[in-house]
């Protein structure tokens, strides 16, 4: 492979982050959750909605929907990973999940509030498409670059994602703010157009990635079932952890702190809208700041990792995350929320980038079926999101306040720190992770 071709592959890999991160920012983190709370509140004249004849608080329902999407992916990804790795279909499944996610996202255009069942189903399908694609996308990392460049390329991918998603968020923000000048009778019409734009953006830019990313070689034996191969491979990965103490300790720590990180990412906008009564425009500006700061955070902690190691970098961020959750419990004003958002952005970019590249370094050398390892990593991450978002919604349902839910998130981070400290990752040289 010549240098120019390799550069195109690396750019194509990063470009997929550019394509799908618009979903994470616009649909998951900002505009859709704010819109969901607003239109359901207006349709049902209260915070409670009727969902298939069940009465439930709108923000709790949204938390459960996020958990449901990731639970579905956690359950099906073992089968898909085997079919991808051993059937030479990694790129095919990346395409299929992309098409599912982008189509379901665009379909949110027809969600108006009273049809809350339709909105939840579409949002769950979009979440399945997004999270399902990541296991195949992430598994390309060790195949397209060398170990000494994992951190840098991982950070670059997230940087692409942050920049691309912010651009589309700003376009959506302008459309919403100037909706009357653009011919929209009501603001909600402009908001729904932003959902359509995300679906088109995700589908369109992903085509560049699909064109240049390599296909993996078909390694399937004629007498083996592709459907069950992924389950068998995950069992092999699970049992291999006994001989990979660093990976085992890391994954356990990752499960807990990821529950905290991902819940903050998915539900921060709902917290700001409901607890602080912040306007949608202010929340959008806040999340934009988070995304821009996250770019600097991803590169800063990659540099810190290079100077020390990944364990030190991650532990530093986790202590900051603990402080963030504690402060979220007591904050009262929008300016305090803005200040907290800057800190969240700094560690959000770093923790995502470092977590992915750290796990990549822990995969044994000469491993062929990287997707099986990344599928295991993906299942752990998805289950952590299920636990985190469900806990957040359940505690709010029990206590009537999201502030109490932030304490649960703090506990997730504390447990993650304890488990990481018990491992040897923060005391291990970069060249001997596995």
Residue 165 has pLDDT above 50, yes or no: yes
Q: Where are the domains of the chain?
A: 3-213+234-429
pLDDT band for 226, please (50, 70, 90 cuts). Answer: low
Decide if 24 contacts 294 (C-beta within 8 A).
no
Decide if 82 contacts 368 (C-beta within 8 A).
no
Decide if 356 contacts 161 (C-beta within 8 A).
no
d(CA 209, CA 221): 29
The helix or strand, by DSSP H or E, that contains position 282, with its residue range, turns out to be helix 280-307
* 59-68, 85-94, 265-274, 298-307: range with highest mean pLDDT: 59-68
Residue 312 has pLDDT above 80, yes or no: yes
d(CA 210, CA 206): 6
Residue 428 has pLDDT above 70, yes or no: no
Residue 208 has pLDDT above 90, yes or no: yes
Note the pLDDT tens digit of each residue in 72-97. 988 887 777 666 666 667 888 899 99
Phi then psi dihedrals of residue 201, to 5 deg:
-60, -50
Tell me the average pLDDT across 339-347.
84
> What tokens does 19 get?
């394509």
Note the pLDDT tens digit of each residue in 372-418. 777 788 788 889 988 988 888 888 888 887 788 888 888 989 998 88
Residue 425 has pLDDT above 70, yes or no: no
Phi then psi dihedrals of residue 51, to 5 deg:
-120, 105
Residue 195 has pLDDT above 90, yes or no: yes
Determine the CATH number of domain 3-213+234-429.
1.20.1250.20
pTM, to two decimals: 0.78
> What tokens does 347 get?
């560690």
Instruction: Identify the pLDDT of residue 196.
Output: 96
Residue bearing the bigger pLDDT, 17 or 139: 17
Percent with pLDDT over 70 in the chain: 89
Average pLDDT in the chain: 82
d(CA 403, CA 420): 27
pLDDT band for 359, please (50, 70, 90 cuts). Answer: confident
Phi then psi dihedrals of residue 359, to 5 deg:
-65, -40
Please return the burial class of 204, using the count of CB atoms within 10 Å of its CB with bins 0-12, 13-18 and 19+.
exposed
Q: What share of the chain is helix, strand, coil (3-state, %, to 5)?
A: 85, 0, 15
DSSP character at residue 215: P
Residue bearing the bigger pLDDT, 26 or 270: 26
CB burial string 327-343: b at 16+ within 10 A, e below: bbeebeebeebbebbeb
Residue 219 has pLDDT above 80, yes or no: no
């Amino acid at each position: 492979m010549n240098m120019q071709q390799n550069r195109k592959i690396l750019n194509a890999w990063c470009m997929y982050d550019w394509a799908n991160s618009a979903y994470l920012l616009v649909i998951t983190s900002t505009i859709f959750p704010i819109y969901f709370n607003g239109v359901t509140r207006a349709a049902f004249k209260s915070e409670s909605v009727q969902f298939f004849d069940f009465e439930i608080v709108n923000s709790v329902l949204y938390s459960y929907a996020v958990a449901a999407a990731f639970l579905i992916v956690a359950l099906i990804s073992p089968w898909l990973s085997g079919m991808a790795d051993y059937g030479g279909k990694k790129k095919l499944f990346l395409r299929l999940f992309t098409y599912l996610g982008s189509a379901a996202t665009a379909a949110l255009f027809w969600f108006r509030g009273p049809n809350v069942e339709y909105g939840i189903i579409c949002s769950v399908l979009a979440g399945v498409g997004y999270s399902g694609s990541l296991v195949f996308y992430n598994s390309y990392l060790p195949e397209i670059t060398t170990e000494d460049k994992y951190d840098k390329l991982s950070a670059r991918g997230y940087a692409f994602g942050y920049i691309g998603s912010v651009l589309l968020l700003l376009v959506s923000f302008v459309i919403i703010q100037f909706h009357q000048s653009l011919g929209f009778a009501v603001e909600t019409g402009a908001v729904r157009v932003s959902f359509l734009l995300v679906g088109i953006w995700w589908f369109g830019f992903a085509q560049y990635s699909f064109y240049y990313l390599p296909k993996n070689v078909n390694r399937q034996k004629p007498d083996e079932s592709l459907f069950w191969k992924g389950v068998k491979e995950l069992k092999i990965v699970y049992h291999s952890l006994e001989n990979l103490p660093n990976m085992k300790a890391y994954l356990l720590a990752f499960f807990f702190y990821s529950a905290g990180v991902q819940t903050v990412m998915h539900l921060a906008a709902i917290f700001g809208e409901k607890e602080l009564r912040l306007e949608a425009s202010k929340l959008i500006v806040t999340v934009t700041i988070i995304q821009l700061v996250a770019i600097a955070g991803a590169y800063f902690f990659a540099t810190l990792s290079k100077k020390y190691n990944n364990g030190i970098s991650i532990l530093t961020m986790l202590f900051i995350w603990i402080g963030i959750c504690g402060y979220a419990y007591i904050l009262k004003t929008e300016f305090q929320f803005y200040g907290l958002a800057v800190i969240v952005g700094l560690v959000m970019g770093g923790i995502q980038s470092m977590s992915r590249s750290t796990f990549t370094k822990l995969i044994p050398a000469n491993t062929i079926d990287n997707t099986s390892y990344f599928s295991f990593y993906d299942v752990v991450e998805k289950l952590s999101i299920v636990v985190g978002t469900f806990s957040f919604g359940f505690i709010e349902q029990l206590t009537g306040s999201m502030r109490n839910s932030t304490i649960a998130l703090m506990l997730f981070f504390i447990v993650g720190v304890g488990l990481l400290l018990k491992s040897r990752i923060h005391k291990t040289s970069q060249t001997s992770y596995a």
